[in-house]
Structure 1
């Protein structure tokens, strides 16, 4: 092994750099090193910002298309025709008025009756949401439109019936109190 190392050194003899470094080499090297520290060259990688911008553009475009297409096929009765829009508007206005009227009668004695009526209204509203999906899937089938109108009518009838019942209860209480006096 010793012979191998000596042979390697003999083969490399004369190829070693044995000269002294020129005068001032170290100071020039340190000056260059300082210059590189002061003004580092930043290589800007444009791929990341461009890919983020492209992704955002794609998401905005897809989101815009999703929401605009959803508005066009809403499944509402109003989307069928202008007459159906008027019908839906009438029923919604009537239902909202009746609900407000019903809530105005709320007291300790009528609370259970009113809560039950509102629960039934919510059940009918859930059925209506299902009918909206059916309307989209069926392509404005007349049977689905009729079912939607019937749903509105059931809600109005229910509210009117409960209001009439509460008014009758109030009237009976007044008559009972008048006979006692």
Structure 2
């Protein structure tokens, strides 16, 4: 039944089909026109101006910088720095001193004093954990002076440990040097 409808459609449209063969060179003229359109399309592609790319990169950098500054300002200052500007300077002083001593110790690291240094670093980790608890206590206590003194004492203990390690390293060096070069009478 379906085939009957299709055959009937073809019979009705019989005179309307274009069955003539194209003139000679038709295919070449068609290809020439097609190629001409492709060439003009390639030429019509808008070229981006180089300054637009630069401006978009610059805008992205400015947005990132703005977000960074905004987020830095929102971050809450903790530790002694949150109490007063003087204690902020104190915290900065201790932090700088501790970092300086740590650099000295790492410069002196050797197999002979490795155990000494690793023990000192473990003690430093314990004091750092203690300091983190003190920061929470300071926030909860509303800047209690006893907590502030404990924080300063924590910093001093860290510096004392590092200074003792440096002294011990120097003593080990001298002992090793004296064993290598014994004095004769």
TM-score tier after normalising by the smaller chain length = 0.5 to 0.7
Q: If the length of structure 2 is used for normalisation, what is the TM-score?
A: 0.58
In structure 1, the partner of 2:149 is 146
| Structure 1 position 178, deviation (Å) | 1.1
In structure 2, the partner of 1:103 is 106
Is the CA contact 1:75–1:135 (under 8 Å) kept in the aligned structure 2? no
- Runs of 5+ consecutive residues of structure 1 not aligned to the other structure: 1-63
In structure 2, the partner of 1:129 is 132
- Runs of 5+ consecutive residues of structure 2 not aligned to the other structure: 1-69
Hey, what's the Cα distance between the residues in 2 that align with 1:84 and 1:151? 14
Hey, what's the Cα distance between the residues in 2 that align with 1:107 and 1:155? 21
In structure 2, the partner of 1:91 is 94
Hey, what's the Cα distance between the residues in 2 that align with 1:93 and 1:131? 20
In structure 2, the partner of 1:56 is none
| Structure 1 position 75, deviation (Å) | 3.1
Q: CA RMSD in A?
A: 1.9
Hey, what's the Cα distance between the residues in 2 that align with 1:180 and 1:114? 30
Q: If the length of structure 1 is used for normalisation, what is the TM-score?
A: 0.59
In structure 2, the partner of 1:114 is 117
Structure 1 range deviating more: 171-180 or 142-151: 171-180
In structure 2, the partner of 1:14 is none
2:165 corresponds to 1:165:
no
Alignment coverage as a number of residue pairs? 114
Hey, what's the Cα distance between the residues in 2 that align with 1:137 and 1:169? 45
Moved over 4 A (4+): none
Hey, what's the Cα distance between the residues in 2 that align with 1:140 and 1:159? 28
| Structure 1 position 180, deviation (Å) | 7.1
Is the CA contact 1:131–1:144 (under 8 Å) kept in the aligned structure 2? yes
Hey, what's the Cα distance between the residues in 2 that align with 1:175 and 1:80? 50
